[in-house]
Amino acid sequence: MAELITTPNLPDPDGFYEELLAAHDGLSKAESDALNARLILLLANHIGDRRALSQALTAARRVGSEAGSKAP
């Protein structure tokens, strides 16, 4: 089981961000929410590592100054 990667790991970050927003183009709030939920499930299955996923959930719950601290 792997550690969650929280250092830059994404090639072409600007391109990915643009694509992420574009996927939501023309969708209502409800449709966007549903897309996000499907996306999370698809990515979770792709990651397939329970430890990394638990760390991601913990990291995602942290906000503000806590956000920089290392996930457990």
CB nearer another protein, residue 5 or residue 35:
35
Nearer to another protein, 21 or 30 (CB): 30
Q: What's the closest the beta carbon of residue 8 comes to another protein, in angstroms?
A: 28
List the Cα angle 63/57/53 in 5-degree steps.
Answer: 145
- The least distance separating another protein from the CB of residue 44, rounded to whole angstroms, comes to 9
- Using CB under 8 A as the binding rule, the residues of this chain from 11 to 70 that contact another protein are 33-34, 37-38, 40-42, 45
Residue found under tokens 């250092």: 7
Round to whole Å and give the CA distance between 14 and 32. 20
Q: Contact at 8 Å (CB) between 69 and 6?
A: no
**CA-CA distance, 61 to 11, in Å (whole number)?**
25
Q: Which positions lie near another protein, rule CB under 8 A?
A: 33-34, 37-38, 40-42, 45
